[in-house]
Amino acid sequence: MKRFINILLHPLTVTFLMLFFDQWLKIWVKTHLTLGSGFPVLGNWFQIHFIENKGMAFGMEFGGDWGKLALSLFRIIAVFGIGYYLFKLSRGTHRWFRVCMALIFAGAIGNIIDSAFYGLIFNDSFNQIASFMPDEGGYAPFLHGWVVDMLWFPLFEGYFPDWFPIWGGEHFLFFRPVFNIADASISVGIVSIFLFNKRFFPKKKEVPAEQAVETN
């Protein structure tokens, strides 16, 4: 059992599993739903809602075609940097820190695959279900593909009270952004590192000078 857990928590295993589930769900959604469609999973609280993100995570966009290209190139550079850092991590590093880095690495790769290749291997999803490797070619050139998002948690909605600053009286929905497994993987990895930073990198206890002299 211990050996199985060690294998399961190995950075390569974590990276592979997250990539597999991320790409499996994206390809399923892309080849079974039209853009803007979806279905409830847990009532109205959790839904599959298919959108395509032209830019950053959680549906945010970034600077048109040139911004898209710059973002894709930045992602590729970042992935190589994260991958190199993960490869260089020693076994003495906290296990869960390595897992967190693997989650970030896998999420970054997952969204790069969409940006780099989905435009080449799928046609668009506007009013139609996309086909894999269509005869007429894909909907976008290399590095200009759109990231597939589908996880939506509109847990509750309502209106801000009139006295609330800036948004008083306006409608709100929580949680509004639609995202994917890769986005969630990156977010969980980053937040976990932030929350457990002291556990991952404990400070070494300083030995008083007098005690060090006596030990020697």
Task: Give the type of residue at 185.
Answer: S
Cα(85)–Cα(65) distance, integer angstroms: 30
Count CB neighbours of 154 within 10 A: 15
pLDDT at residue number 58: 52
What are the pLDDT digits (tens) for 26-56?
999 999 999 999 999 998 899 999 999 876 5
For the chain, 216 residues long, give each residue's pLDDT as a single digit of tens.
788 888 888 999 999 999 999 999 999 999 999 999 999 999 889 999 999 987 655 555 555 566 667 777 888 898 899 999 988 887 778 899 999 999 999 999 999 999 999 999 999 999 999 999 999 999 999 988 999 999 999 988 888 888 888 888 888 888 889 999 999 999 999 999 999 998 888 877 665 656 555 555
* CA distances to 91, 168, 170, 174 from 162, in Å: 55, 4, 8, 18
pTM, two decimal places: 0.83
Q: Which of 22, 124, 149, 162 is catalytic?
A: 149
pLDDT of residue 138: 95
What's residue 213's pLDDT?
A: 54
Measure the CA–CA gap between 211 and 216, rounded to whole angstroms: 9
Amino acid letter, 97? F
Query: What's residue 130's pLDDT?
Result: 96
Work out the number of other CB atoms within 10 angstroms of the CB of residue 143.
19
Is residue 188 a part of any domain in this protein? yes
Which residue stretches of the chain are H helix? 2-8, 11-32, 64-88, 95-113, 119-121, 181-195, 197-200, 209-215
List the beta bridge partners of residue 178.
152
In a domain, 77, yes or no: yes
DSSP conformation class of 204: P
Is residue 208 situated within a structural domain?
Answer: no
Structural domain contains residue 212: no
Domain that holds residue 136: 8-201
Catalytic: 149?
Answer: yes
Residue 210 placed within a domain: no
Structural domain contains residue 58: yes
Domain annotation covers residue 143:
yes
Number of domains in the chain: 1
Specify the pLDDT at position 214.
57
- pLDDT tens for residues 181-204? 999 999 999 999 999 998 888 877
Question: Does residue 183 have an active-site annotation?
Answer: yes
According to DSSP, the β-strands at 171-174 and 156-159 are antiparallel
- Residue 1 domain-assigned? no
Output the pLDDT for position 97: 94
